[in-house]
């Protein structure tokens, strides 16, 4: 019986380690981009997130998804969402470590970089949605006068308070958003939800909103930014779950979405039956007002994709270090080393690009340097979100295959990771939306392209393949015809040029060489594991923490 009872040739659980110490690209990027002062806090969060107890919270939150309760036992409308206790534990952990608010609590350079590292090391993706939106709503509310004064202290509190009561009586609050409607999707100007002023209208004034949202993110939150048509046009409103007189606001949750992944998080459809809200900004300026929130959540999409890639790399390399086939560890077999090194390379490129983008959100400088960073951010956000999010599902799929049949089993956690990966590309504008936004940014603000190319050309002379690639890219950008059908190709090449530049400047020579050869010079195939002969797999794998 011992032959069937004994467990042999299986990897031990991947838990109880220091993910920042093992992730040299992130550790170095944190320091390089100005967030090194937060290293101890980031490392502590990462270690806690990799403890077996926290990993079990992630499993339980996904195996026990939220439930909608529209009415109580007496037939009264309540519109509440119930979560497994593990969900609340995850939010308590992350909010306590300021994942939702660090840049607004630390007025110093590198705060967005430090927060990006925290978000990248998050123990579970689903609970990142309310964290991201709460983080992203603050810069909008900072321009909203008394509304900001009222809500920002609640939203930046490091106490998680899950009670369903008016926010004024809570220790902390979370924010969500509602933009899209079933007839419009990404075309929010097609929205038909209507806002009627109750006291004359204007910034901060009270409105009554009637209509719907097809995707209402994180409906258990305390307050939401929503778009609705006012007399002056599409406008942005702050809508709490409770009215000032202590009554439940008229947000009628219709159902929770049955999603492919991200199952621990609640996404809903909602109807507004004369819901109470206050105008943020000016009437008719809804999109420019809410776009700052959208840009910050797009940053988080890219960070989340990079975090998912890193998790996939950790799982694949860990398995390969302990699993033996045909008398050798998988990690020692040349073809598997090529696959794993290729995945590590993709993960490092994604990490380098998202921490650089996070620094552009800091903008601590004044004058010309600050303007250059803002121009860089304007274009790079869409470029990096598009490409990082496109690569993440492929990385997760290949990493799953490294585990073989074990990776296809739910208990491994790899199916959950694989299902999660497409979300970042869809959320806050799918691939086409990002590419068209990049084209519009180039056309409306050519200076943003100049700023991005200036960043890329900081590596000029560092690798001839990168120089050739950038020169060809510039020629393609100068062609004005057929821009829209070429948009994905142009944005992809902008992303690759930026990643190549960052690696040439900051990574080990072996890493930069492999990237330039395979991604820029064409000496690589269409699948992972096709790095050219002569690639130094050992250095790439060791840098990624693979033994």
Higher pLDDT among residues 189 and 120, named by residue: 120
Q: How many Cα atoms are found within 13 Å in the side-chain-facing hemisphere of 315?
A: 27
Secondary structure of residue 210 in the 3-state scheme: strand
Cα torsion 465, 467, 471, 473 to 10°: value is 60
User: Six-digit token pair at 176?
Assistant: 């969500």
Per-residue pLDDT of 284-336, as tens digits, reads 999 999 999 999 999 999 999 999 999 999 999 999 999 999 999 999 999 99
Predicted confidence at residue 5, as pLDDT, reads: 82
Is the per-residue pLDDT at 3 higher than 70?
no
The percent helix, strand, coil of the chain (3-state, each to 5) is 55, 15, 30
Q: Three-state SS string across 275-332, please?
A: EEEEEECCCCCHHHHHHHHHHHHHHHHHHHHHHHHHHHHHHHHHHHHHCEECCEEHHH
DSSP string, 509-535: HHHHHHHIIIIISS-S-SSSS-PPTT-
* Region label for 537, one of left (φ > 0), alpha (ψ between -120 and 50) or beta (otherwise): alpha
With a CB cutoff of 8 Å and minimum separation 6, the contacts of 354 are: 116, 120, 299, 302, 303, 306, 384, 388
Predicted confidence at residue 227, as pLDDT, reads: 97
Is the per-residue pLDDT at 278 higher than 70?
yes
Is the per-residue pLDDT at 69 higher than 80?
yes
Q: Hey, do 173-283 and 289-543 end up sharing a CATH topology, with the first three levels equal? A: no
Is the per-residue pLDDT at 477 higher than 60?
yes
H or E element at residue 152: helix 146-155
User: Six-digit token pair at 150?
Assistant: 């009222």
Per-residue pLDDT of 512-535, as tens digits, reads 999 999 999 999 999 999 999 999
Residue ranges per domain, the chain? 19-155, 173-283, 289-543
CATH number of 173-283: 2.40.110.20
Predicted confidence at residue 431, as pLDDT, reads: 95
DSSP 36: G
User: Six-digit token pair at 52?
Assistant: 């077996």
Architecture of domain 289-543 in CATH?
Up-down Bundle (1.20)
| pTM for this model (two decimals) | 0.97
> Chain-wide mean pLDDT for the chain?
96
**Which candidate, 304, 260, 192, 253, places its Cα nearest to that of 416?**
260
Per-residue pLDDT of 429-467, as tens digits, reads 899 999 999 999 999 999 999 999 999 999 999 999 999
In the chain, the percentage of residues whose pLDDT exceeds 90 is: 93
Q: pLDDT grade, residue 4 (50/70/90)?
A: confident
CA distances from residue 449 to 374, 435, 480, 499 in whole angstroms, order as listed? 12, 14, 14, 16
Cα separation, 455 vs 450, whole angstroms: 9
Per-residue pLDDT of 326-374, as tens digits, reads 999 999 999 999 999 999 999 999 999 999 999 999 966 666 678 899 9
With a CB cutoff of 8 Å and minimum separation 6, the contacts of 108 are: 37, 364
């Amino acid at each position: 019986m011992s032959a069937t009872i004994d467990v042999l040739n299986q990897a031990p659980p991947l838990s109880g380690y220091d993910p920042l110490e093992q992730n040299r690209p992130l550790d170095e990027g944190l320091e390089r981009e100005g967030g090194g002062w937060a290293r101890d806090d980031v490392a502590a969060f990462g270690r806690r997130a990799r403890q077996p107890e926290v990993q079990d919270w992630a499993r339980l939150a996904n195996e026990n998804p939220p439930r909608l309760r529209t009415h109580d036992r007496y037939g009264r409308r309540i519109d509440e969402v119930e979560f497994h206790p593990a969900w609340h534990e995850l939010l308590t952990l992350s909010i306590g470590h300021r994942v939702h608010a660090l840049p607004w609590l630390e007025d110093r350079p590198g705060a967005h970089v430090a927060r990006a590292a925290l978000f990248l090391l998050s123990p579970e993706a689903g609970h990142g949605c309310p964290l991201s939106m709460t983080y992203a709503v603050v810069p909008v509310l900072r321009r909203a006068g008394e509304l900001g004064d009222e809500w920002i202290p609640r939203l930046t509190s490091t106490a998680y308070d899950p009670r369903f009561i008016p926010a004024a009586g809570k220790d902390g609050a979370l924010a969500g958003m509602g933009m899209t409607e079933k007839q419009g999707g990404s075309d929010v100007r097609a929205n038909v939800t209507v806002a009627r002023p109750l006291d004359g209208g204007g910034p901060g004034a009270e409105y009554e909103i009637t209509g719907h949202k097809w995707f209402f993110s994180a409906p258990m939150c305390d307050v939401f930014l929503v778009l609705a048509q006012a007399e002056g046009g599409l406008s942005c409103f702050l809508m709490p779950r409770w009215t000032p007189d202590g009554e439940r606001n008229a947000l009628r949750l219709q159902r929770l979405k049955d999603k492919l992944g991200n199952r621990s998080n609640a996404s809903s459809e909602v109807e507004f039956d004369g819901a109470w809200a206050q105008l943020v900004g000016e009437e008719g300026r809804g999109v420019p007002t809410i776009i700052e929130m959208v840009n910050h959540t797009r940053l988080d999409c890219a960070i989340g994709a990079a975090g998912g890639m890193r998790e996939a790399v950790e799982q694949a390399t860990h398995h390969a270090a302990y699993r033996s086939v045909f008398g050798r560890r998988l990690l020692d077999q040349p073809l598997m080393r090529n696959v794993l090194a290729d995945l590590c390379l993709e993960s490092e490129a994604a990490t380098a690009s998202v921490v650089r983008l996070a620094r552009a959100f800091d903008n601590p400088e004044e004058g010309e340097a600050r303007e250059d960073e803002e121009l860089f951010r304007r274009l790079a956000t869409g470029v990096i979100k598009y490409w990082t999010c496109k690569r993440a599902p492929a990385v997760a799929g290949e990493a799953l295959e490294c585990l073989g049949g074990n990776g296809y089993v739910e208990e491994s956690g790899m199916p959950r990771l694989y299902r999660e990966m497409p979300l970042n590309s869809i959320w806050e504008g799918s691939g086409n939306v990002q590419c068209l936004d990049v084209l519009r940014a180039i056309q409306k603000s050519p200076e943003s392209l100049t700023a991005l190319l200036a960043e890329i050309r900081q590596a000029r002379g560092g690798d001839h393949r990168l120089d050739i690639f950038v020169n060809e890219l510039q020629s393609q950008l100068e062609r004005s015809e057929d821009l829209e059908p070429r948009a994905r190709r142009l944005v992809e090449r902008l992303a690759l040029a930026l990643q190549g530049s960052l690696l040439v400047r900051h990574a080990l020579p072996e890493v930069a060489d492999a990237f330039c050869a395979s991604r820029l010079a064409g000496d690589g195939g269409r699948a992972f594991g096709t790095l050219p002969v002569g690639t130094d797999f050992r250095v790439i794998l060791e840098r990624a923490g693979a033994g």
